[in-house]
Chains A and B, each alone.
Chain A
Amino acid sequence: MIRRACEGDNRAVRALYDRYSPRVYAVVRRIAGDDDLAEDYAQEAWIRAIRALPTFRGEARFSTWLHRIAVNSALQAVRKEKTRRKREVALPDVIPVPPRIGDTLMQRKLEEALAELPDGMRKVLILHDVEGYTHEEIGAALGVTSGTSKSQLFKARAKMRRMLKGHETRPKEIEAWSV
């Protein structure tokens, strides 16, 4: 299937998309913190991945290889978006992700709290605790040392814990999503 996708076979690329798009979209959406941006970022990630398919040698699992492309693509897109926003108008760093029908209460709270974390902490927490990256891998992806990654992770966990306990005041836009 990968060979065919590499040759530009529409059906093979569609099959890969059907199989892997939920995982790709999930990580991109959490990094982006916004549905509209996530959609664009996910599509950009897929375009990069399909373009890079001839370089896939099978040393890692395809899902792992694709996931890394998605993460790197999303991180790069977030950086670009922040630069663009800074040039235009000061907007909040993160737009909270609205809850979806079917999410459990705990999942909803976690997603909301993730969206509230400062950018650096959020990326590290997503990559480590949600996606299972090591600190070395996070360091390589974010351009920081593994020590910084660890330190950010512990701060992020602590901050998230406080938020989940309701110890921290939530911004107004978050209140709007609370039901």
Chain B
Amino acid sequence: MERLNLEQLARLVDEPPTPEERAVLEGDPGLRRELDALRSQTEALGNLPAVLPPPGGWHELEKKLMAAGLILGGRSNAHLWRKWLQVAAALVIFVGGTTLGWVTGSAPAGFGGAEVSSEPASYASLEEAMAAVDEAADRYRAAYGGLQQFVSAEGLRGRSRDPAAHIAALETLMAASRAAVEESPGDPFWNDVYVRSLAEHDFTIREVIADWR
């Protein structure tokens, strides 16, 4: 067999030599050195380091991802928005549902029904997503304002005629606000909603037990 060329040697980096090739290699120290050099070259290529992207790369990417609607605003968190929407939805359901059991009194305008969905939504653009968030924020504020109004003064508990529905609504509210508190433990707003719903739930249970006795 003739002397092995460089491409044949390059193959021997990965594959075992044939008996003929082995014989040629054994008889030629120069070829063996060349094969060793090719092996070192291959090993060095495999050890090439990762490369840090240029500084500022994230900010450029962040803008593009936001423009594509793949992430929400710089400091915001989609999961938190989602929890927030769930609380808003729960409040609307809660206040709206509670009104069903009343004989007297009327719900304030703007939160008479469960109109907010907690299902993940898809939007065509960032603007559309932000508009939906703004709309939900308005609903939330209306619902929360209504809740405060009903809890204060005469109070919810004095007006409800259906304790079971009342407790079920409170449990929905507790679950949603607890999820929000877990996501954002330092937020006084969610803590307030959670504690209020917890206290009201506890009080209602006690009242039901007392009435039963």
Contact = CB atoms under 8 A, between A and B. Distances in A.
A110 B10 contact: no
A9 B44 contact: no
B71 A161 contact: no
Interface in A1-56: 4, 7-11, 13-14, 17-18, 21-26, 29-30, 35, 39, 42-43, 46-47, 50-51
21 contacts: A4-B78, A7-B120, A8-B71, A10-B73, A10-B76, A10-B78, A13-B71, A17-B58, A23-B50, A25-B53, A25-B57, A30-B48, A39-B53, A39-B54, A39-B60, A106-B44, A130-B48, A132-B46, A157-B7, A158-B5, A161-B6
Interface in A38-83: 39, 42-43, 46-47, 50-51
Given A10-B62, A21-B57, A158 B7 contact: yes
Contacts of A50: 65, 70-71
B46 A8 contact: no
Given A43-B60, A158-B7, 20 more contacts: A7-B78, A8-B70, A10-B75, A13-B65, A17-B61, A22-B50, A22-B51, A23-B50, A24-B53, A47-B64, A47-B65, A106-B44, A153-B10, A154-B8, A157-B10, A157-B42, A158-B5, A158-B10, A161-B6, A161-B34
B45 interface: yes
A21 B61 CA distance: 11
B52 interface: yes
A12 B134 CA distance: 23
A137 interface: no
B141 interface: no
A115 interface: no
Nearest to B120: A7
B135 to A, nearest CB: 18
Given A50-B65, A158-B7, A164-B41, A43 B57 contact: yes
B46 A130 contact: yes
B132 to A, nearest CB: 13
Contact of B37 (A9, A150, A161): A161
A35 B54 contact: yes
Interface residues on A, range: 35 or more
Contacts of B77: 4, 9-11
B50 A26 contact: yes
Contacts of B50: 22-23, 25-26
Contacts of A8: 69-72, 78
Contact of A161 (B38, B49, B51): B38
A124 B58 CA distance: 29
A138 interface: no
A154 B7 contact: yes
A93 interface: no
Contacts of B49: 26, 107
B74 interface: yes
B68 interface: yes
B206 interface: no
